[in-house]
Each structure stands twice: as C-alpha cells, then as structure tokens.
C-alpha cells in the first residue's frame, strides 16, 4: 500500500515536524474558539437570567443604597404620602392627565401603600419583579391603546414624589425606571386575575349574602356579566357569580352569592370585610336588546335577580324609558332578599313564591306565573337563573308563542 506524505510528498523530517506542530496549534486554536463560544453563551444566559428582574449582578449595592435613601424620605412623610401625592396629581393640567390618574386619585392611600411596599422590598427585586409581572396585564387593560400614558404617568408621579419628599437626587426617577422595566414585558399579556378586597358583606339569609368587592386596579365589565371569584381559603378554586352593579369610579362591584359549593359557602359564611379576593376577567352575561318599541320582559330565578338589577340600573343611566316587566321567582318568601332595591330602579316587579306562604305575592312556579300574567309575544325577553329554571321558562314561553329569537338567557 502506498503512503501519502503530509506535505508535497516529501519525507523531510524537519518539514514533517513543522506540519505536525502547525496542526497541533490549529487544533488548540479551534478548541479555544469552541470554549470561548461556550463561555459567551453561558455568560449571555447568565446575564439574561440576572436581568430578568431588571438588574444585573453588581447592581445589588446600588439597589440597597437606593432603598436606604427612599426609606429615609418615606420616614419623613409617613402614612400621609398618598394624600400628598394626590394633591399634586390633581393639579395636573387636563392635557397632561393620563388614564392612570383617575384610579390613582380614587384611592390615594392604596398608592401610598404600594410605594411603601416597593421600598421595603427593593433589595429583593425578584419579588417586586414578580408582583409587577402580575400587575402588568391588568395595568395594560387599563391603558388600552394608550401605552405612552405609562411613561407620562411615571413622570407625573416622580414630580409628585419630588414635591412631597424633597429628595436630594434622582432616587425616585431611578426607582421608576426599574419599575417600568419590570412592568412593560407583561402589559400585553392576558391578566390572570385582578386582586381586591371585600369592603361590605351583608348576609341576607343563612345561605345567601350580598358582597361588595373593591379591585385595586380598574376592573372592566359590562352590566349583566359574570365574574369568577377566588377566596383566600379556597386557593385555585373559582366560582362564577352574577355582577349586580354598574362599573364605578371606586372600583366596587356587587355580587349576589347563594351557597351551592365550597367557594360560595366560604363567601357567604366565612368571608368578612377586609378579606382578599381575586377576580378573573368578566364574561358571559346578558346584553340588553337594542332599543325598540317592544316592551322588555325580565324573568329572574333566585340570585338571577343580580344581572337584572345591573341592567335596570343601565336603563336608568342611559335614559332608556322602555316599559319593563320583571318577574322574580323564589322558592320561599324570604328569598326576596333585595326586593326594595330592585323596585327602586323603576321596573314593574312581580314576585312569585313557589312554596309556602306567598301573600302578598303571586304563588306558583315562575314560568306559569309569567304566562298567566299576559301575552308576551311582542316583547324582548331576558332570563337568568339556574339552568333548569332557564330551560323550563324558555320552553313555556315558546310554547305560548314567544319567538325563540326574542329570548336572551344566561345561567350559572
């Protein structure tokens, strides 16, 4: 077998050793390049991991210094910080106001508490970054298409903080830069939930309560929709409930709760004012039919009165004067837990009691009471209640000539 010489067929040992040395050096260089690429990839991965919460290794000292300065400023102001900030924010010219001014001014104490919390945890930025990741989606819902309002509100807040606390440097501006960096990546994500607290709890019956919940950030919904709620004692267990109120500046929503599972039992029997509550995005519900010459027939079973109450409030708010007939069916007379409040909204209300003494109200099954009361064929119809009640009422109404396309229904 012939031998292949390494360099031009020569057998000169000097040239052979030179070739071997050059080959070895090339292998070393290639190995060094591979190691360098791996090192750069590792460093980039580390930098990405370290910057995920808004800073890189080596910034810890800066954060601790910033925290010390901010805490010193807050110590001079105390709990009055929120009110002082609100005074400054209210002085903003109309053209400089953002969509975030209104919720901040609605509850200045919350704004003050949020700043205190950030200062206390700024030396643990991964915690603040995690909270911002949860806050960002709900904040994005509030901002809508006005994403530039986040920076504009930040400048207004920095000016307010500078005026309230008289800082000696750029502490608030530096802190806002970090917070904004943590917020922005999650603005366009779907909010997993809104956080709030119970501000009123009125137990109307052993198994039924009217609960008012205030969300910390604006919570978007339409009259007649439902909200899924999670309580502190039942984490990761969500239950849909009817919303009985209109959207309001104070971010308080009213829900009607009747016991039928562990979440509703906790809401009725063990929840109190001040308890934390989580809300998922509102959905479903009953839309009002467009204005027409037709009268509106509302049929509610039990806590199905809640969306009807919200829709009646919407009609009044919109100045919609169409004639409304509301039938409210309950099992026993004490189920008419919100009758006066509903009547105050202007509808003709006909209560129907299925069992036991009914006087002075109608006695009998709700669908039969409805059809016995008149001819509903020309009307637009809204029905809310249990699935059985809803389907049964639809069957009875359509059997009496009400077109199915005139009926809008919803159940829990």
The tens-digit pLDDT sequence of the chain (412 residues) is 444 344 444 455 666 666 666 666 676 676 666 666 656 654 554 444 444 444 555 556 667 777 777 777 778 777 788 888 899 899 888 888 999 998 888 888 888 888 888 888 877 777 888 888 888 888 888 898 899 999 999 999 988 888 877 655 677 888 888 888 889 988 988 888 889 999 999 999 999 999 999 998 888 899 999 999 999 999 999 999 999 999 998 899 999 999 999 999 999 999 999 999 999 999 988 999 988 888 999 999 999 999 999 999 999 999 998 999 999 999 999 999 999 999 999 889 999 999 999 999 999 999 999 999 999 999 999 999 999 999 999 999 999 999 999 999 998 7
Q: Could you tell me the residue ranges of all domains in the chain?
A: 60-186, 194-279, 296-411
pTM over 0.85: no
Which CATH number fits the domain 296-411, given the four candidates 3.40.50.80, 3.40.50.1820, 3.10.690.10, 3.30.420.40? 3.40.50.80
Task: Give the whole-angstrom CA distance, residue 188 versus residue 137.
Answer: 6
For the beta sheet containing 324-330, the strands, ordered from the edge strand earlier in sequence to the opposite edge, are 362-363, 348-353, 324-330, 296-301, 380-385, 407-411
Give dist(CA 387, CA 384) in Å, integer: 9
- Order across the sheet with 226-231: list the strands: 239-242, 226-231, 276-279, 194-205, 208-215, 252-258
Q: Tell me the sheet residues that pair with 385.
A: 411
Under CATH, what is the fold of the domain 194-279?
Answer: Elongation Factor Tu (Ef-tu); domain 3 (2.40.30)
């Amino acid at each position: 077998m012939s031998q292949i010489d390494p360099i031009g067929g020569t057998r000169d040992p000097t040239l052979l050793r030179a070739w071997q040395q050059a080959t070895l050096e090339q292998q070393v260089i290639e190995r060094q390049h591979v190691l360098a690429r791996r090192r750069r990839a590792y460093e980039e991965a580390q930098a990405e991991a370290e910057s995920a919460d808004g800073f890189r290794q080596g910034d810890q000292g800066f954060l601790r210094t910033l925290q010390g300065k901010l805490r010193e400023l807050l110590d001079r102001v105390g709990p009055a910080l929120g009110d002082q900030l609100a005074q400054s924010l209210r002085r903003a010219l109309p053209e400089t106001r953002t969509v975030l001014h209104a919720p901040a001014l609605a509850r200045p104490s919350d704004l003050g508490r949020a700043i205190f919390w950030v200062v206390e945890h700024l030396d643990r930025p991964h915690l603040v970054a995690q909270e911002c990741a949860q806050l960002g989606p709900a904040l994005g819902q509030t901002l809508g298409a006005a994403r530039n309002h986040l920076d504009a509100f930040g400048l207004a807040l920095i000016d307010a903080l500078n005026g309230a606390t008289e800082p000696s440097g750029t502490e608030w501006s530096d802190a806002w830069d970090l917070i904004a960096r943590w917020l922005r990546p999650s603005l366009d994500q779907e909010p997993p939930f809104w956080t709030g607290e119970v501000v009123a709890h009125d137990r109307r019956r052993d198994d039924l309560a009217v609960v008012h919940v205030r969300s910390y950030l604006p919570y978007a919904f339409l009259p007649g929709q439902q909200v899924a709620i999670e309580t502190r004692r039942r984490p990761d267990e969500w239950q849909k409930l009817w919303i009985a109120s209109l959207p309001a500046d104070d971010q308080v929503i009213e829900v009607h709760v009747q016991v039928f599972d562990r979440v509703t039992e906790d809401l009725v029997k063990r929840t109190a004012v001040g308890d934390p509550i989580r809300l998922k995005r509102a959905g479903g519900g009953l839309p009002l039919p467009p204005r027409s010459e037709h009268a509106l027939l509302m049929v509610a079973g039990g806590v199905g009165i809640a969306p009807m109450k919200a829709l009646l409030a919407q009609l009044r708010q919109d100045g919609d004067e169409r004639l409304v007939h509301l039938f409210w069916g309950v099992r026993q007379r004490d189920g008419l837990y919100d009758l006066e409040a509903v009547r105050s909204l202007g509808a003709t209300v006909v209560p129907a009691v299925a069992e036991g003494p009914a006087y002075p109200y109608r006695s009998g099954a709700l669908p039969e009471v409805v059809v016995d009361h008149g001819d509903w064929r020309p009307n637009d119809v809204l029905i809310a209640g249990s699935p059985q009640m809803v389907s049964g009422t639809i069957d009875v109404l359509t059997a009496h000539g009400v077109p199915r396309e005139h009926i809008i229904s919803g159940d829990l």
